[in-house]
Structure 1
């Protein structure tokens, strides 16, 4: 019979969204044996291909020994955390996997220990990873399926259907003794967890169940119902502030959107002007790409200054300092470009930025807005933070098709092509252009011949 060479799937997503359990479910659905092999911290290619028999203590590789354990030639083989593969002097396990994961080659996989051809073409391989920083050749062999973080409504559903029940059972609570209302659950998700998956949520629910059980055992109460009002008694002090990122419209403070491995985040971009000579300074543990995007934003604003009503001579007297708060958290990537331009223009003109607008997009020197990645997570973060309007690059409009309806309905999403459109929407007042001629330029120069005022010279 013609055998179907199965695709090799790679499930990519943040921690706690159920990649490993999905692998298990695929095995159940296809009626195959399930084998899980974690690749986190594997540095030695012999772990995959086996040692030569001449060595003392040599063993066959993990692939062969797991097949033996499964006892069938067509199990579902889950390679967990494939992005955590190490590399050192003993060889590169990622390259050893190239042969295993290629349906054309793996019918004659040779283990160093057994030295016979092993047919892996019937095995269904599924890999999981948190990010895609894998060798290009390895990515090429896999079909990538992205699993995004859950929305708040999805988390509520998961908790009500599975997590609460599981924890009630695990703690030995009787039916009716522990009730978590939907509003209480929502408050728990908003104020006590900030993650893409549901692991922390499960721990928090377990904590509530333990507190409730203790009260029942101490005969203080018969049953416990948790609502938003008494949530703090059981769960402790709130850990996260849920709501708007800024309280009022401020000059030079822009809400940007960032993507992290645990989902999206709201990111405030602050800028101020100080006396100086026209330099720009950045703080907040920025990566190289982000530093360059600050330079690009600054040059763009300088070049277009008169159009935005900024006198070019102002740049000779002022320095700009751009800071991205939470200084210890490393930030990188070009997608804060539009936010940086808006912050700089707002500082130089003194026009405040609307607090309920968030924005994302890379900026070129001509002011075009380029597309960005991680749109779903960024929009989720905006919705969680109570933002009304989100500005996204025009080229990302096609990605809106994959975004759940409740996110699209909860936000006004405006696609933009050029920075000028962003400034029109984001600033509280419109900017008026000024004429700036060579005569103005000369008038702004300090008069020649008069020495600049300095401290007294000591002889």
Structure 2
């Protein structure tokens, strides 16, 4: 190198070469400085020692310095030949690019390290805050000034109330206070008090006390010796119209559901670890007690099928695709629920206003069936007197009788009395104990636009061509007023038989059957008469049970014989004059009682359907229309030959 510089000094034409050499030296020094800034002088010396280039790095020979720099940058321990002067620029460019890459990577890494440190610091601060909050909760509880203030407001509101509702006072408090249902209540209590209690379905019209009877029957059963129910046996009440089947099975208040950690979220600690949480439903709440489902006939069909499975197994089982029995973080209660299910050993009591045929046959086969009776006017009067006693109010004579004319539902009768009581209190001005008078009752009737439940009333006098038939709708029977008129036709065989169209085709067939029987028994041909048969009020007759009543009305009109207006008949009329069996006999007897009928004629084939308690109605079974004619008209009939 020294000879090289001497040659340069001796030759003035090498000026550009000298400047180029000086520039390369400065470039090499700059690269060494950059490398030293990146790794530090001490680390550079250590690395040079490992690579055996320490001597070359300190050499005054530019080519050796470049070779050492190259090995330090690329960390190349293999021996290499010293580059020539013409190779140095390219090597320095390569070294510069590598250092640029290292600096770029170092910058990115520094940025990442900075962000990571910031994130770690943030997490650390959050963790410290959570620990602090946990310590605060452990030391002071979940309350703070704001929550304590809201609690104080709620407690202050609880200390204030207007008064109890009238219906809360008027509701029966003991099972012997239920009116008009002695036999159904006795049957219900016996099935609950048995050592082997049964599931039960209660049928009957609304407002007759099915829900109250179920609740009070459990209370009575608890007090009996050898009762299967403990003193703390629960009574869980739910309405079937509010329960719907969720195909996702995420919400099921009746049977229970599984809260998956992703879609609905279980508890936070379970959601964080991906553990599903089963939530038992009402069937588990009713364990060892009674589950009462009002309007059980409205329950979703799929939910009914699921309920049947629970009744059989006495347990509810849960499923979830997120459940992993091998998960070490799985709480034992969740594992137990998934593997063994939730207990659901209860007695089901369902109530419905539907017909038995409309209830799921599988549910019916597992339940004892009890029919609640419609309430009579006497029952309604007794309910009104009981309610007045609970209110501590006096009734003017005739108040209970008027209320009984406008409803056959115990609930409505109590509401009626509560409305009249409110009017009496308003009139009294709060000074004296009010007395409910007839004017208060009539004011309720006018304001509420009420109409009497029974518009047709039986009487003691006879009428020609008029008789009461009996019909049934649901669990309620009613009297149908059937009337007939007959006039000789203008010409023989030119008569017309007319029947109101709204009564239905079945009623028309009954008229034709009556014409055949009349001709057989009396020799009269209805085609010689203009006959008009009418169902008063435009009622529709869906079955053949009005056949005998239509026959008697037409017979009375033709023979001009009066029919007592305190009787009613039901039965299908055959063309041979026989009285055939019909349905709904107990309900029809009830309907006859409602309108004041004293005697009811029913088919002999229905004698097994006649209830033991006919509520004061005389029930006569007959085989043929001849028997009815003998009873009604007190005479026998001789057919014309």
2:536 alignment counterpart: 325
Q: Aligned pair 1:179/2:394, yes or no? A: yes
Distance across 2 between alignment mates of 1:372 and 1:205: 38
Q: Aligned pair 1:253/2:466, yes or no? A: yes
Q: Aligned pair 1:380/2:605, yes or no? A: no
1:142 alignment counterpart: 367
Distance across 1 between alignment mates of 2:502 and 2:423: 40
1:448 alignment counterpart: none
Paired residue for 2:238, among 23, 34, 37?
37
Secondary structure of 2:564's counterpart equals coil
Return the offset for 1:224. 4.0
2:202 alignment counterpart: 11
Distance across 2 between alignment mates of 1:347 and 1:429: 16
Return the offset for 1:418. 1.5
Change (3 A) 1:107 1:260: same
Distance across 2 between alignment mates of 1:41 and 1:121: 21
Distance across 2 between alignment mates of 1:282 and 1:243: 19
Q: Aligned pair 1:391/2:609, yes or no? A: no
> How many aligned residue pairs are there?
395
Secondary structure of 1:402's counterpart equals coil
Paired residue for 1:97, among 301, 307, 318?
307
2:421 alignment counterpart: 209
2:568 alignment counterpart: 358
Distance across 2 between alignment mates of 1:45 and 1:336: 47
Q: Identify the structure with the greater helix proportion.
A: 2
Secondary structure of 1:10's counterpart equals strand
Maintained 8 Å contact 2:240/2:294: yes
Change (3 A) 1:428 1:262: same
Return the offset for 1:367. 3.1
1:28 alignment counterpart: 219
2:313 alignment counterpart: 106
- 1:30-52 superposed Cα distances (whole Å, 9 cap, x missing partner): 33101112112655375556678
The structure whose RCO (Cα within 8 Å, separation 6+) is larger is 1
Q: Aligned pair 1:426/2:632, yes or no? A: yes
Distance across 2 between alignment mates of 1:373 and 1:363: 14
Distance across 1 between alignment mates of 2:599 and 2:621: 11
Distance across 2 between alignment mates of 1:117 and 1:370: 57
Distance across 2 between alignment mates of 1:331 and 1:110: 50
Maintained 8 Å contact 1:38/1:79: yes
Secondary structure of 2:563's counterpart equals coil
TM-score when scaled to structure 2? 0.54
Greater shift in the superposed pair: 371-380 or 334-343: 371-380
Larger Rg: 1 or 2?
2
Secondary structure of 2:198's counterpart equals coil
Return the offset for 1:259. 2.4
- 1:240-281 superposed Cα distances (whole Å, 9 cap, x missing partner): 267724696444322012223463322112344587666664
Maintained 8 Å contact 2:545/2:582: yes
Secondary structure of 1:304's counterpart equals helix
1:306 alignment counterpart: 519
Maintained 8 Å contact 1:49/1:112: no
Distance across 2 between alignment mates of 1:150 and 1:63: 42
Q: Aligned pair 1:346/2:561, yes or no? A: no
RMSD in angstroms over aligned alpha carbons? 3.8
Change (3 A) 1:83 1:335: farther
Paired residue for 2:281, among 17, 42, 65?
65
Secondary structure of 2:398's counterpart equals helix
Secondary structure of 1:298's counterpart equals helix
Distance across 2 between alignment mates of 1:294 and 1:414: 26
Return the offset for 1:236. 4.3
TM-score when scaled to structure 1? 0.72
Maintained 8 Å contact 1:81/1:130: yes
Distance across 2 between alignment mates of 1:150 and 1:58: 51
Secondary structure of 1:153's counterpart equals helix
5+ residue gaps, structure 2, are 1-193, 223-230, 267-275, 321-336
Return the offset for 1:17. 0.9
- 1:312-364 superposed Cα distances (whole Å, 9 cap, x missing partner): 2x32x55655433333x655344323212223333444434322211122333
